[in-house]
Structure 1
């Protein structure tokens, strides 16, 4: 049974449909693959990587993908401090660069992009309809912490729009930010479009104009200290395959 650490993914099964990448059509389907890998992944990948991990295991009996979700900045610190892991999927090129520069990874590949959206409780009690509404003193806004990719992007949006927003709290990652909204503890927050989609009827989304919105790239790489390098590479290839791209697109990610 696959294990999910830090933030549990309530993922639906993804039908196994072609695990190879364009460069290596046999990737993800080799009979020799076995054992376990640990994948450190940005919190915003919880649902999509939950599905991809399950599908990869189905195509490769005898393998286990353990997923550990959290803020990319924190995961990068853990990797550089020696935490055992085999793959890193970051929501920021900056955090991936930190891991590469330390010698813990090499040759990352961008596999998806994500953009920001305003999330409000389903009934939108504060009647939020625009970014400017978030600057009102009586509106409680929650953001990701400043050093977390979703927090960096949120503040870039405010800078682009020329508005000042003082959050009531700065959360550890995008899922914690979203939780404050679904629980009714905030009137609005800036999260990724994929997180608004994954929340379903629990939240409503308010689009951010494209000319002020911000996006982030998601790179992935195998880690140098991996104890199962072949399996780690096969999983990365699966994420980069047509099946991986289809799952990410379903979750709301954009192609790189």
Structure 2
């Protein structure tokens, strides 16, 4: 996973891609030495202190709910840096955090909650302070047409209704539990899923009547599910932090990818998918 022999890509850069390249290059060059700021510094001196060229494989561990948006950003990144290849590992944030602390090689970690991110930083596997780049809010996913006429969070407790939830250790599951507790509701699901996409799939396959997922997941599913918003979700919004990992095989690539995620272009992709501003 740490090889820098990734095959050169020849994707054409559109005008927007060229602009993105300039923006990201500026971000990756911001750590140049003080010597380059001196009035007497020559052009060659400034060049010699520039950040390393971004190339090779960039490995990103990211919460399952980021799959669609990060895949799109990965394509933009590879277009801006033709000598790179972005590989992703999407899953439950708690599972990804455990893999990282166990030594799995990765460059970037994007979690769906500060709690799971803290697992990584407390173990000394994060480099610097994680920063929140988006937030996400819960929504009820139902079968198309909402045949069970689910309108509230309380409706999920109806007798005979089959509901799937994310596991309590997963950020989407923890947020759902906060909303249920705040409403003094008790819900026993037919299954606890290890990530939000698995909970959504239960509805898409008609194995359950509903599940509690994120608004972004309902939107990404299109007509495969219907969405029901509920006011209690406002008190259970999850922050999404991102960090470069301490033992990142590709430091330059990690920093450039995080810069893209936090850039105006990256934020546009995320907010258009339904994520909330940090």
**TM-score, with length taken from structure 1:** 0.89
Counterpart for residue 230 of structure 1: 252
- Give the C-alpha shift of residue 227 in structure 1: 1.1
- The answer as to whether partners of 1:116 and 1:213 remain within 8 angstroms in 2 is no
Question: In the alignment, does 2:180 pair up with 1:180?
Answer: no
Question: In the alignment, does 2:48 pair up with 1:27?
Answer: no
Structure 1 202/38 Cα, relative in aligned 2: closer, same or farther at 3 Å? same
Structure 1 runs of 4+ aligned residues shifted over 6 Å read 28-31
Structure 1 216/126 Cα, relative in aligned 2: closer, same or farther at 3 Å? same
Taking the TM superposition and a 5 Å limit, the aligned residue runs for 1:54-203 are 54-105=75-126, 106-203=128-225
CA distance in 2, matches of 1:210, 1:38: 36
- Give the C-alpha shift of residue 172 in structure 1: 0.7
Count of aligned residue pairs for this structure pair:
242
Question: In the alignment, does 2:67 pair up with 1:46?
Answer: yes
Structure 1: gaps (5+ residues):
1-13
- The answer as to whether partners of 1:154 and 1:190 remain within 8 angstroms in 2 is yes
Structure 1 212/39 Cα, relative in aligned 2: closer, same or farther at 3 Å? closer
Per-residue CA shift, 1:19-77, capped at 9, x if unaligned? 3798x761369892110111000000000000000111111111000011000000000
Pick the structure with greater CA Rg. 2
**TM-score, with length taken from structure 2:** 0.82
Per-residue CA shift, 1:172-216, capped at 9, x if unaligned? 100000000011011111000000000000000001115764110
Q: CA RMSD in A?
A: 2.1
- The answer as to whether partners of 1:28 and 1:60 remain within 8 angstroms in 2 is no
- Give the C-alpha shift of residue 123 in structure 1: 2.4
> Paired residue for 1:242, among 256, 264, 272?
264
Q: Whose helix proportion is higher, 1 or 2?
A: 2
